[in-house]
Amino acid sequence: MARIFCIANQKGGVGKTTTTVNLAAGLARIGKRVLVVDLDPQGNATMGSGVDKRALELTVYDVLLENASVAEARQRSEKAGYDVLGANRELAGAEVELVQLERRNQRLKTALAPVDAEYDFVLIDCPPSLSLLTLNGLCSAHGVVVPMQCEYFALEGLSDLVNTIKQVHANLNPDLQIIGLLRVMFDPRITLQQQVSEQLKTHFSDKVFDTVIPRNVRLAEAPSYGLPGVVFDPSSKGAVAFIEFAREMAARIERLSA
């Protein structure tokens, strides 16, 4: 059975997509079968996995509207080592169209069920909002991974997300839990980042992943080559951290499912 996770944070530019594609590539490296679902109309996870969003005939949009199955719409990224259910700008319209439909929260969950046995992990890259698209992600998932930068307002922003997750857990998806908080774009030379990192550990204790993803330019360069950093330059500091994170994540999930 696939374990399904949302990579979520309602802020933009915090490292969700970078985490999704590099965790996916890291898990693929240790032999896991992975599907990345791009739920952001920007399509960055699609492009960053080497799939051209402009050339897609079927996307997650068609899947949400039940015009296509996941099996029909997914693409294989040979270079990245995992499958991608892609997105492009068309997905921006789904929000409005879904509102009028029945089971509007449950569309993705229903669509993923038939391919469940084909994957060990499904990673859902969420848009920077707590929208109906994100809700579809949260209703499908066993857990949430929250990438965050250790900045002054980081904790404040987190409470909205934590409340949303609690509400979805209580009303829509009793399986849902926070798997962990991942510190990303970390620069240990910045005292404030060290302080916020300590605060995070105080508030969330073992929910904070041990692995810390450093700020590393190779991770930022990789998407322009259509590759996750882990594939683009596996020996770079950022890639090494994500490979370590994939191991930590796999071990944590094994413990939780035991």
**What is the binding site for Mg ion (CB under 5 A)?**
16-17, 44
Assess 107 for contact with ligand ADP (CB under 6 A).
Answer: no
Judged by CB under 6 A, the stretch of 159-167, 174-182, 211-219, 246-254 that binds ligand ADP is: 211-219
Among 108, 168, 182, 219, binds ligand ADP (CB under 6 A): 219
Assess 18 for contact with ligand ADP (CB under 6 A).
Answer: yes
Min dist CB 10 to Mg ion, Å, is 12
Contact between 1 and 119 (Cβ < 8 Å): no
Contact between 86 and 51 (Cβ < 8 Å): yes
List binders of ligand ADP among 21-80 (CB under 6 A): 44
Phi, psi of 102 (to 5 degrees): -80, 160
Assess 220 for contact with ligand ADP (CB under 6 A).
Answer: yes
Among 215, 226, 232, 249, binds ligand ADP (CB under 6 A): 215
Helix (H) or strand (E) holding 125: strand 121-125
Assess 3 for contact with ligand ADP (CB under 6 A).
Answer: no
Assess 15 for contact with ligand ADP (CB under 6 A).
Answer: yes
Q: Which residues pair with 155 in a beta bridge?
A: none
Tokens 């910045």, residue located: 190
Min dist CB 126 to Mg ion, Å, is 8
Contact between 33 and 118 (Cβ < 8 Å): yes
Among 212, 216, 226, 245, binds ligand ADP (CB under 6 A): 216
CA 168 to chain centre: 17
The DSSP secondary structure of 126-188, one letter per residue, reads --SSSSHHHHHHHHH-SEEEEEE---TTHHHHHHHHHHHHHHHHHHT-TT-EEEEEEEEEE-T
Min dist CB 71 to Mg ion, Å, is 25
Assess 184 for contact with ligand ADP (CB under 6 A).
Answer: yes
Min dist CB 9 to Mg ion, Å, is 9
Q: CA 50, CA 70: separation in Å to the nearest integer?
A: 18
Return residues touching ligand ADP (CB under 6 A).
Answer: 12-18, 44, 128, 184-185, 213, 215-216, 219-220, 223, 238
